[in-house]
A and B are shown apart, each in its own frame.
Chain A
Amino acid sequence: MHPTDRLRPAVAHALWHLVLAGASLAMAFPMLWSLLTSFKGPQDVFSPSPLPWPATLDNYAAVLSSWPVGMLVGNTFIMSAGVAAGQLVIAVLAGFALVVLAPRMRPAVLSACTIALAVPPQAIIIPQFLLTTRLGWQNSELGLIVPQLGTSALAVLLLVEHVAAVPAAQIEAAALQGARPIETLWHVVLPAIRPAILAVGILVFITTWNEYLWPLLIAPRSHDATVQIGLAQFQGEGGTDYGALMAASVLTSLPIVVVYIIASRRIIDSFIKAGLRP
């Protein structure tokens, strides 16, 4: 018998809150503290008091006027949306092929995806870099987006199970009515897996938004850079203005956190369906 079962339920419940509240605080603390600090004036930046009082928006004003936030966010948005769209196209086409058109290929291709997923990016980054520069794609969105389509494996593994869950009868009915495969994909499969596509798309978007090493190598110049590179450089140069630094950090990560919290239910559902159940 577990010890908590002997305690009164109210005590067990309080203990439950204590552990989870403590863990939540520990996990979210650095970002919560960054958020609070970003509203503190220069005299309070290092104050151990959590509440920003008197609160100020000066840090945000300073960042927005001295840091090319709009451009960095724009670059990062184009890269993340491009990679998410590209990976979704690749994964939906592949998922359809592996489930409907050529099911006998499925084990081999999914194994190739799993292996690709396990390859550490640093181990193959030199040839990737050489190829990208030979193609003349340095400092360009092409160079940021296309090589990152190589990590489509996860999107494929997640989406193929969703395609497999579309009732075979619906697909066969479309074929019997003379639909070409592309029409079946468009009119039958796509509507059925739309929630999964959205969830996987958001997951890829967030991962790409946070990517650091590849943009660092391909687009380090400030006007082509992504928010991560900009933030790292900002931190390296003006390391003393912590209020502004925290405001910059919040501006570049908060939107992503909000998107994730809204979408997390769906993302978890897509993991469940992809066979994470033992």
Chain B
Amino acid sequence: MTQKAGWRPYLAPLILALAVWVYGPAVFTAVLSVMKWNLTTPPSGLVGLDNYASLFRHPEFARAAGQTILSALALLPFATIIPLVLAVMLWQRPGRASVVYRALLFVPVVVAPVAVATAWKFLLNPLQGLMNRILEVFGIPPVNWLGDPGTALLVLVAITAAKVVAFNLVLYTATLSGIDRALVSAAELEGATRWEISRFIVGPHVARTTVVLALLSVVLAGQWTFTSVSVLTQGGPDGVTDSVYYRIYALGFQFFDTGAASAAGVLVLLAFAVLATAWSVVRRSRRASH
């Protein structure tokens, strides 16, 4: 259809929504980051890079950034190899059992993070929780999982890991269902083993999805951890579960330091711009290899 006129009203709602609630706020965050502003008082003028300087003067932000990156790296296997193996296993033997397993494996994608955090708080109760009861059987003294700086970040990464595995399992399942079953049957008739099918048919099919998922999960995982941190630890104990996302929230809505929170937001956006550039390089190489 060649009605060139008249597309504007169709595209306007999307453009408006993106401009007002995403791109506008991103620009405004940058503006706020060079202003001195406490949410309770009117803005009192430009302060240049003072807000950034203050972020780097206090060790909390650098520490939160380090922990965010560490968590993302720890989540990489849960974003790639683990959901891939599970997805291939489900794909190999379609049937009623697969349907049941798939439904159970998808649970962490849909259950509210608050409900999951609540369940873990109960399971990890230092006095009577199931986890410590199990340790007791093996003669291990009780652990204060969420109160001990040595274990708290581990617990939060594990909670997020379940969600990352489940989410990427959905995406791998979608990718695998694009494989032509007839091709697989033909390979089987030719006497190909299951391993050879995985290696020569499935492997090439999912290789690039894996790169994309690794990047995507780095993007999303920190945000997914936010709710667990907010409900379970509020960044503690001793700041070990703090992340840049929680820091922005704490600076902006607990200390009402709009300037510093916005500066932190800009630094996160810059980090993402770097990641996005990496992503587009991968995509370009993907297109070139086709």
Chain A residues near B (Cβ < 8 Å): 1-2, 4-5, 13, 16-17, 19-21, 23-28, 30-31, 33-34, 37, 46, 48, 89-91, 93-94, 96-98, 100-102, 105, 109, 112-113, 115-116, 118-131, 146-147, 149-153, 156, 171-172, 175, 181, 184, 206, 209-210, 212-213, 216-217, 227-228, 231-232, 235, 239, 242, 245-246, 249-250, 252-253, 256-257, 260-261, 264, 267-268, 271-272, 276-278
Chain B's closest residue to A228 (CB) is B114
A28:B121 contact, CB within 8 angstroms: no
Residues of B contacting A232 in the complex (Cβ-Cβ under 8 angstroms): 114, 230-231
Q: Which of A13, A30, A46, A130 neighbours the largest number of chain B CB atoms within 10 Å of its CB?
A: A30
Residues in chain B near residue A181, CB distance under 8 A: 1, 3, 6, 10
Closest 9 A-B residue pairs measured CB to CB?
A: A150-B21, A2-B195, A97-B10, A30-B119, A101-B7, A127-B25, A24-B104, A277-B178, A124-B25
**B150-184 vs A: 1/0 string, CB under 8 Å?**
00000000000010011000110111011000000
Mind listing 29 A-B residue pairs with CB under 8 Å? A16-B92, A23-B86, A25-B104, A31-B107, A34-B115, A34-B118, A97-B11, A119-B22, A119-B272, A120-B268, A121-B223, A124-B269, A126-B29, A126-B32, A126-B258, A127-B24, A150-B18, A212-B112, A212-B230, A213-B230, A232-B230, A235-B118, A249-B118, A249-B119, A253-B112, A253-B115, A261-B106, A264-B170, A271-B171
Encoded as 1 (CB less than 8 Å from any A CB) or 0, chain B from 194 to 205 comes to 111010000001
Chain B residues lying within 8 Å of A212, measured Cβ to Cβ, are 112-114, 226-227, 230
Task: Establish whether residues A97 and B118, one from each chain, have CB atoms under 8 Å apart when the complex forms.
Answer: no
Which A residues lie within 8 Å of B262 (CB)?
126
B190 vs chain A, min Cβ distance (A): 15
Q: Bound complex: CA of A91 vs CA of B143, how far in Å?
A: 49
Instruction: Tell me the complex Cα distance, A101–B219, Å.
Output: 33
B119 / chain A contacts, CB cutoff of 8 Å? 30-31, 33-34, 246, 249
B245 touches A120 (CB 8 A): yes
B-side interface residues, number (CB < 8 Å): 103
Residues of A near B207 (CB, < 8 A) are 278
Q: Are A91 and B14 in contact (CB under 8 A)?
A: yes
Q: How long is the Cα–Cα vector from A271 to B249 in the complex, in angstroms? A: 32
Name which residue of chain A comes closest to B283, CB basis. Answer: A114
With A1-B193, A28-B104 as contacts: A268 and B174 at CB distance below 8 Å:
yes
B114 pairs with A231, CB closer than 8 A: yes
Residue of B nearest to A2 (CB): B195
CA distance A113 to B191 in the complex (A): 46
Residue among B17, B128, B206, B252 with max Cβ neighbours from chain A (10 Å): B17
**Closest chain A residue to B279 by CB distance?**
A118
The chain A residue sitting closest to B162, CB to CB, is A27
Instruction: Tell me if B90 counts as interface (CB < 8 A to partner A).
Output: yes
On whether the beta carbons of B107 and A210 are closer than 8 Å, the reply is no
| Contact present for B219 and A264 (CB under 8 Å) | no
- Pairwise interchain contact A264-B193, C-beta atoms closer than 8 A: no
> A249 to B134, alpha carbons, bound, how many Å?
24
Tell me, in angstroms, the Cα distance from A245 to B123 when the chains sit together. 13
With A46-B125, A213-B249 as contacts: A101 and B105 at CB distance below 8 Å? no
Determine the residue in chain B with the shortest Cβ distance to A270.
B174
Evaluate whether A127 and B28 lie within 8 angstroms (CB atoms) in the complex, with A5-B193, A24-B105 already known. Answer: yes
User: Taking the nearest CB of chain B, how far is it from the CB of A165, in angstroms?
Assistant: 14
Name the residue among B18, B116, B128 with the largest chain A CB count within 10 angstroms: B18
Q: Map CB proximity to A onto B96-121 as digits: 1 under 8 Å, 0 otherwise.
A: 01101111111111111111101111
B56 to chain A, nearest CB (A): 18
B29 contact from A116, A123, A149, Cβ within 8 A: A123
User: Which residues between 201 and 254 of chain B lie within 8 Å of chain A, taking CB atoms?
Assistant: 205-209, 219, 222-223, 226-227, 230-231, 244-245, 248-249, 252-253
- The reply to whether A90 and B13 form a contact with Cβ atoms under 8 Å apart is yes
Q: Which of A2, A109, A122, A261 contacts B11 (CB 8 A)?
A: A109
In Å, the complex CA distance between A126 and B226 comes to 16
A98 to B110, CA, bound (A): 31
**Residues of A contacting B62 with CB < 8 Å?**
none
Besides the contacts A123-B268, A249-B114, what 7 more A-B pairs have beta carbons closer than 8 Å? Answer: A24-B105, A91-B14, A119-B26, A126-B25, A242-B122, A246-B119, A271-B171
Q: At the interface, yes or no: B23 with Cβ under 8 Å from chain A?
A: yes
Q: Give the docked Cα–Cα distance between A112 and B103 (Å).
A: 34
A127 engages B32 (CB within 8 Å): yes
A93 interface neighbour in B13, B178, B222, Cβ under 8 Å: B13
Q: How far is the CA of A25 from the CA of B9 in the complex (A)?
A: 49
CB of B261 closer than 8 Å to a CB of A: yes
With contacts A181-B6, A261-B103, A278-B208 taken as known, whether A31 is within 8 angstroms of B25 at the C-beta atoms is no
